[in-house]
Amino acid sequence: MSIEIKAPTFPESVADGTVATWHKQPGEAVSRDELIVDIETDKVVLEVVAPADGSIAEIIKGEGDTVLSDEVIAIFAAGDVAAAAPAAAEAAPAEAAAEGDADAAAGPAARKLLDENNLDASQVPGTGKGGRVTKEDVLNYLKNKPAAAPAAAPAPAAAPAVEVPAAGERVEKRVPMTRLRATIAKRLVEAQQNAAMLTTYNEVNMKPVMELRKQYKDLFEKTHNGTRLGFMSFFVKAATEALKRFPAVNASIDGNDIVYHGYQDIGVAVSTERGLMVPVLRDTDGMSLAGVESAIADFGQRGREGKLGIDDMQGGTFTITNGGVFGSLMSTPILNPPQTAILGMHKIQERPMAVNGEVVVLPMMYLALSYDHRMIDGKDAVQFLVTIKDLLEDPARMLLDV
């Protein structure tokens, strides 16, 4: 039975997507719900899984092709793989003969790996139907390649010169920018061009939060089923309270209108292999510290696995980014449109500070608030950041709402 494999249904904010990687090729056995292709959009990479046991009969949209919402990208043959594969098995040799190139016997994903590693399809034993070289074949060949190195040593002339650059050779590699990276670049440039962006700085003494965390972290983790007490939850709760006191910072600009949001949805920047993503914590005013920490841990895990969905990153009225985890001492964060402000956290570093006429070494952090001056006056921006500072230096105020 033939089944059409379609691209996912994209939300209104996503016009189209790009076929990133086919994990399975025609004729390869596929189990139900097994990943077969990744679709990359402007915001996230979406996974398409097999609708049943069987194999792919035909790939309609190859890697790099643009696809629309619900567009057919392949034909799937459900049922016995052995019965469904002959057509695909016959097609591979025919294609190779027609093109007169050994690489034609490899799928798109396999060819990409072959090109990246300066290999020829004839060098890799194919285990696919009709001897077709699969992505897994190339990976296995590369994995076991070092073991074959001694045998190849007596014939150095046969080794391609490009694999080992000569001394002093200036090597360059050109790869196409991913759709996600291109979108990030476009949005950052637009934010700087379209907003009157300004940044104000302050510093916060992290000792009270660190002492509170040290005192209760074990009990917190035990009480909340293994959820660890970090610093980000304190910043999210402090920002939430400050946003309630300064509605302009929680607003956005839509054309000639100012939209004041009666809720606090805070985005938390997460760094992934595919680029920076900003999943959103919804209604943070009603979230506990444990709820915030649990949600952030889930975002981080799914971000690393490439499983953050578009819904996770839609909306948001304010953003927090933490460059301190990478060692940044100070930076100027860029706005995340249509939001009008973003808070930058940085590295905690001990510094000598004057306290009541005495020099005391304290764990200090620089805070940066970038804001759109079209919407937020400097006075409000400074007072907003001071409010966050005051709440963090006296965490009990967040609990007492004072």
Residue 148 gets the label, from left (phi > 0), alpha (psi -120 to 50) or beta, of alpha
Cα(327)–Cα(381) distance, rounded to whole angstroms?
25
Asked if 7 contacts 70 with a C-beta cutoff of 8 angstroms, the reply is: yes
Reply yes or no on whether 23 is catalytic: no
Averaged confidence pLDDT in the chain: 82
> Both tokens of residue 170?
């200036």
Half-sphere exposure of residue 78, counting CA atoms within 13 Å on the CB side?
10
- DSSP assignment of 69-98 equals TT-EEEEEEES-HHHHSHHHHHHHHHHHHH
Helices (H), 246-400: 289-304, 310-313, 378-393, 396-400
> Both tokens of residue 14?
């996503």
CA dihedral over 110, 174, 273, 181, signed as positive or negative: negative
Question: Looking at 377, 380, 394, 401, which residue is catalytic?
Answer: 377
**Measured CA distances, 160 to 101, 102, 150 (Å):** 19, 18, 16
CA dihedral over 216, 218, 221, 223, signed as positive or negative: negative
Question: Looking at 311, 373, 394, 401, which residue is catalytic?
Answer: 373
Q: Residues 6 or more apart from 227 whose CB is under 8 A from it?
A: 220, 221, 290, 293, 294, 297
Q: How far is CA 115 from the centre of its chain?
A: 26
Asked if 322 contacts 345 with a C-beta cutoff of 8 angstroms, the reply is: yes
Give me Rg for the CA atoms of the chain: 27
Low-confidence ranges of the chain (pLDDT < 50): 82-104, 147-162
Reply yes or no on whether 346 is catalytic: no
Cα(240)–Cα(203) distance, rounded to whole angstroms?
19
Residue 30 CB coordination number (10 Å): 25
Asked if 136 contacts 34 with a C-beta cutoff of 8 angstroms, the reply is: no
Asked if 261 contacts 250 with a C-beta cutoff of 8 angstroms, the reply is: yes
Cα(237)–Cα(301) distance, rounded to whole angstroms?
22
Asked if 134 contacts 126 with a C-beta cutoff of 8 angstroms, the reply is: yes
pLDDT number for residue 47: 81
Closest CA to 395 of 244, 220, 212, 239: 212
The single-letter DSSP state of residue 154 is T
Torsion of CA 185, 186, 188, 191, to 10 degrees: 170
Classify strands 341-345 and 318-322 as parallel, antiparallel or unpaired: parallel
59-95 burial code (b ≥16 CB/10 A, e <16): bebebeeebebebebbebbbeebeebbeebbebbeee
Cα(288)–Cα(200) distance, rounded to whole angstroms?
28
Tell if the pTM clears 0.85, that is, is over it.
no
Query: pLDDT (tens digit, 9 = 90+) per residue, 89-113?
Result: 444 444 444 444 444 466 666 776 7
